[in-house]
Chains A and B, each alone.
Chain A
Amino acid sequence: MAAEQKSNASPLQVIKAVFWSFLGIRRRAEYEKDAVSLKPAQVIIAGIIGAIVLVLSLVTLVHFIIS
């Protein structure tokens, strides 16, 4: 692991990767870029935040429907 020189990904790139992962689609080229630049910890944290955001937006949607 240490041998591989990893360029750091910007938070925006992580967010974008996680967003597309929720949809389940991703361009091959983008994916290859993600695969070299994203760190697993970044992806996991972004994934958890993404899940929380998804839950909150669903809750908000539901809130507007029933109020």
Chain B
Amino acid sequence: MQAAHDHAAHAHGHDAHAHHPSGIMRWVQTTNHKDIGTLYLIFSLTMFFIGGILAFGIRAELFQPGLQFWRPDFFNELTTMHGLIMVFGAIMPAFVGFANWQIPMMIGAPDMAFARMNNWSFWLLPPAALLLITSFFVPGGAPAAGWTIYAPLSTQMGPGMDLGIFALHIMGASSIMGSINIVTTILNMRAPGMTLMKMPLFVWTWLITAYLLIAVMPVLAGAITMVLTDRHFGTNFFNAAGGGDPVMFQHIFWFFGHPEVYIMILPAFGIVSQVIPAFARKPLFGYASMVYATSSIAILSFIVWAHHMFTTGMPAAGQLFFMFSTMLIAVPTGVKVFNWIATMWKGSMTFETPMLFAVGFILVFSMGGFTGLILAITPVDIQLQDTYYVVAHFHYVLVAGSLFAIFAGTYFWLPKWTGHMYDETLGKWHFWLSLVFFNVTFFPMHFLGLAGMPRRIPDYAMQFADFNMIASIGAFGFGLSQLLFVLGVVKCARGGGVKAPDKPWEGADTLEWTLSSPPPYHSFETPPVVK
């Protein structure tokens, strides 16, 4: 409002970055890291619910054997789109949202390095999501080749696949720009005295994640571009009849896909590494080894990709190589879990909601890590490939891992972001219901997989009926429990609850807690000095 007076002389201030437009234009034009962080988080939450509705569709169909609701090919669209939306629309943007909010505050900077590019990185996402969702309504429907969009399935589908490919291209461009921004911010905008080795672990994990993104998103773009030219321009990259090789698609995809797994889990490690010391009231045990373990995981993630492809027919030497290299990743991951537990050891712990989610993360994510180790064993993997065991494994990693860490981080920083405390009772209910229903949903899937139930099918044999019914009930419960999360966040954002002090958590010691709650528009106008 007051800006209208300042700029009354100009018809429109086209380059006035010092004034804040109000209403919708504030969000469209914003170059502020906090506004953009909020946009990312809202986008991610929206996509999380869209992906969740698709999951409801999947679990409703699988509630009983036989075909109840969907045509089989629509069921494939549901599984594919659930995967694509959750990976590219929910988990990744959520972590970028955290990065936007937290990194400048944690390193003592006023904002991100490239404020306008930051705006562009975000505003690429809604059109991409729109393309992806529109694909449901074109002839032939949405992509149905699985989120891995393997050729030759993906070269045969209708125009929905093209929309999916364009959406991935745009989201990839957004991720790359976001990563460049994050790397530049971290390397150039740290407060005086904050050497690399003094950076909070969340910043470290994002620095490494950003490098991973810059390295592998172009690989994904290459793979899907080749699918696109195979589909429309007569190339034969993946067409065996034309001299191409469909297995090559899998190699290229998983060279992106495995580091992608770490892109979705390293920032989660970072959040948990902030939350655990704060509520154990002890500094993080083995800070240096945490940094080293993160880099180690990142490097190793590039030499394991073919563990997703043991059944494609690989010489024994290849099978052994990828089996050994995959198992090596357990070492740095184990170091991390050990360090978190050592941090809690003899700490004076309290269990507010962020800590509950962080401890829950350690327990349940470790389970996903172990099943990953089991799947790394080639002969076991050949038996379990494409069964529900794999579905159970990666949901333990991505839901109990990434998503729980996102919840932990949200409850941890909500008081800082909004200036109000969240509702602790509501948060605790959200945690316990999520934990219980998560396990009710996904634990039985291990048994289903071991018994041989294949994934991505709308119907199944009678002997799988009981566990599927349990899993479906768990899934409905898990989905509905997430409404408590929305309720808690909305209450907090609308200013309900107690006013938050600058530092609501006694044991938290990073720079963002020295700012007011909510923090000023330009986080640190004068850089703090770090001893």
Chain A: residues with CB nearer than 8 A to chain B? 20-28, 30-32, 35, 47, 50-51, 54-55, 58-59, 61-63, 65-66
Contact = CB atoms under 8 A, between A and B. Distances in A.
Contact of B296 (A21, A35, A58): A21
A25 to B, nearest CB: 4
A16 B324 CA distance: 23
Interface residues of B, number: 28
B189 interface: no
B286 A59 contact: no
Contact of B320 (A20, A32, A66): A66
Given A51-B299, A51-B303, A24 B321 contact: no
A24 B316 CA distance: 29
A47 to B, nearest CB: 6
A56 to B, nearest CB: 11
B292 A20 contact: yes
B314 to A, nearest CB: 12
19 contacts: A22-B300, A23-B292, A23-B296, A24-B297, A25-B289, A25-B335, A27-B288, A30-B288, A32-B197, A32-B288, A35-B195, A51-B302, A54-B325, A58-B321, A59-B321, A61-B324, A62-B320, A62-B321, A66-B316
A25 B302 CA distance: 20
When A and B form their complex, which 4 residue pairs have the shortest distance between CB atoms, in order from nearest? A24-B293, A24-B332, A31-B288, A24-B335
A15 B325 CA distance: 20
B503 to A, nearest CB: 26
Interface string B493-514: 0000000000000000000000
Contacts of A30: 288
Interface string B184-201: 000000000001110000
B295 interface: yes
Contacts of A51: 299, 302-303
B317 A23 contact: no
